[in-house]
Amino acid sequence: MLLALYRYDPDTGALTHADGSKVAYSFGSRRGFASTWIADQWWGVSRIIWKMLHDEEPEVVAHIDGDRTNFRARNLQGRTRVEHGKITAALQEMGVLPPRFVSPTGTNGAGQTVVRGEDWGLYYRQKDRMWRVQFTRDGITYRVGSSRVKERARALRDAALADLSTVKHRRRNGKRIPCP
């Protein structure tokens, strides 16, 4: 069915409709992965390409270089979830990929990666590649700001912790509260 709907160039990674028109896809629907709508359902573009090339559906279709927009055949790899977790953890330790420690519930609900350890209070948002600074003290959530540079986000957090009265955006139980 896919071969009847699409054409794929493995050298460039371009996926087009059978009539030659470009496939429209979105990056917001599946945790930042490119997806397109087929038969009343969202499908990952990398998964479509893998199925066209190999006629199988692995648990995970990984982008070897970490770039979710690179759909070249040599950049895609079928993996089990366990293999993918081990490889991703190793790349994060080497600093090739940003940290992606997710909260115990599996997501923080905002498409952001929750970071633990020395970088607590920092959230990496893959979609816009920004580090967001937010933390909770005594039931009040402080939204400090964001930065593309992790060290700058860390400095924002540390400055806010030194003097909480400087933080303008505060919430208790989801409702904004006035600054003193």
Contact 45, 36 (CB under 8 A): yes
| 60-63 vs 41-44, strand pairing mode | unpaired
List % helix, strand, coil for the chain (3-state, nearest 5). 30, 35, 40
pLDDT in the model for residue 78 = 92
Q: What pLDDT is recorded for position 158?
A: 86
pLDDT tens digits in sequence order for the chain, 180 residues long: 677 888 888 888 888 888 878 776 655 544 557 777 777 777 888 888 999 999 998 998 988 887 778 889 999 999 998 888 888 778 777 776 666 544 333 344 455 555 555 667 888 777 778 888 887 777 778 888 888 888 888 888 888 888 877 777 777 776 777 766
Domain ranges of the chain: 2-94, 113-176
**Which residues, in sequence order, are bridge partners of residue 146?**
132
What topology does CATH give the domain 2-94?
Homing Intron 3 (I-Ppo) Encoded Endonuclease; Chain A (3.90.75)
Q: How far apart are CA 140 and CA 137, in angstroms?
A: 5
pLDDT at residue 76, as a whole number: 92
Cβ neighbours around 131 below 10 Å, total: 25
How far from 123 is each of 118, 130, 170, CA to CA, in Å?
12, 8, 17
